Amino acid sequence: IVQIIQTSQTFHKSLIAHKGGNAGTENTIANFELAVANGYKIIETDVRFTNDSVAVLSHDASFTVNGTSYTIANYTYEELKAVKSNLATLKECLLFAKKNNIIVDIDFTKETTSNDIQIVYNLISTFGMNGRCFITCNSSVARSFLSYSSNLCICISQVNTTSQIDN
């Protein structure tokens, strides 16, 4: 975070809108719009993966709609979107961030797979967001991301010793 903020005049002294801020439904494009309207230059979001490998935005592994619980990993993106219309994808988030010139903190869970990491790295690269994103994750996930690029900004959230990560 410090490296990004120090190298950019625009983002000096910025606050991070956790899950897009608390003005609306968390981890939605509508909430990110409210965060930008309220002056936030950095948004944090959580990423989960559907069973057809779409990166969607959700803090929890499941959500409930009308009393029915949906575990994200057990459904396709289209199935989930049919019951939760404001379910956003990481692709939508990155496009929104690029359009609005903001930084995205992508928060990963412990259950992240190498395929998940590759999907996210490819999305970041495809949309030219390498310098506009940072990854919050454990040291194992950090190592995997750094194997794709040493230019990614990584925020390690669960380190027991400094020897867990080489760089």
pLDDT digits (tens, 9 = 90+) for 12-22: 446 665 655 56
Average pLDDT on 28-56 reads 92
pTM, rounded to two decimals? 0.83
d(CA 96, CA 166): 33
Name the token pair of 74: 């057990």
Residue 9's pLDDT band (cuts 50, 70, 90): very low
Q: Is the pLDDT of residue 127 over 90?
A: yes
C-alpha 19/C-alpha 59 separation (Å) is 8
- Find which of 44-48, 143-147, 153-157, 162-166 is predicted with most confidence, using mean pLDDT: 44-48
Rounded Cα–Cα distance for residues 103 and 126 (Å): 16
Cβ neighbourhood burial of 16 (10 Å; 0-12, 13-18, 19+): middle
In this model, does residue 68 exceed pLDDT 80?
Answer: yes
CB atoms within 10 A of CB 65: 12
Question: Does the pLDDT value for residue 145 go beyond 90?
Answer: no
